[in-house]
Amino acid sequence: MTSHTFYPSHSLHTHAWPVLFGFLLSGCSTLGSVGADTFTLQGELPADFALKAQAHYGGPKSCSGRGHVETFKDDYEKAPHGYRFEVPVGYRDGNCDLQLVRVGLFIYGRYGENDWQETYDNGELLVVAKATAEDGNNLHGHPAPIHSECSWLFQESRLNLGISKILSCKGAGARLNRKQLPLQTIILSFTVNPREEPYRDNTWIEFPEGWRPCLPKEGWQQCQDPPVFKTYKNNNKECTIYPNCTE
């Protein structure tokens, strides 16, 4: 791309420069910018967890069709770790003052080193004009910390890669009062339930040694009655029980 340099013409009268300068400033004012008011979203993540938060902004009817998204990310770490996001509660797009309407949460977890051994679940912080007592998170004074418990649900991989897992995080959300949100600190922390369970009910049967997979009924996914047990493959091994592979 050819670069161009602007050389002021000597024929441009001196009194025209303030007009031109004002025009340039007015053009710059149409650029989007975040608002000065923010709130803090922070908490704790387990080892091998990451978090992405997407702040969504919208405007009144006069600004129909305009919106904006700000993204925040805390990456994986091998040990439990904290995160902290400073989230603007407003965004200016030209002459439109956009307000924060929600924060979408993407909770990522990994249970191995392969690309397919990574998954996620969703949560949401919904910003409302007026929270009610039923919302359970009015922001008078200091808001109550939010705790989300995540569980791993296992199944046989459909691609015959071994055991695959689905992440399920309960309680990863709240309704927040817009007027009370600036300068507040919202604490949202995640923990992992050490107990893993099958993704589908009655496809594995639990024993003191662990879970054993069973053959399904014809045309069904659930176990036969009485159950007929089978083996499964994991890490290139023939296994009879999960998670220890052999009894």
**Where in the chain are the domains?**
33-148+171-194, 204-239
Q: Give residue for tokens 């998954």.
A: 119
At residue 136, the pLDDT reads: 52
Give residue for tokens 């904290």.
82
Which residues lie below 8 Å from residue 243, measured CB to CB, with a gap of 6+? Answer: 196, 210, 211
| pLDDT computed for residue 7 by the predictor | 34
pLDDT of residue 200: 95
Give the pLDDT of residue 236. 86
What does the pLDDT profile of the chain (247 residues) look like in tens digits?
443 333 333 333 434 444 433 433 333 334 456 667 999 999 999 999 999 999 999 988 778 778 999 999 999 999 999 999 999 999 998 888 999 999 999 999 999 999 999 999 999 999 998 756 555 555 555 678 999 999 999 999 887 778 999 999 999 999 999 888 998 999 999 999 999 999 999 999 999 999 999 999 988 889 999 999 999 998 889 999 999 998 7
pLDDT on residue 14: 39
Question: What was the pLDDT predicted at 169?
Answer: 98
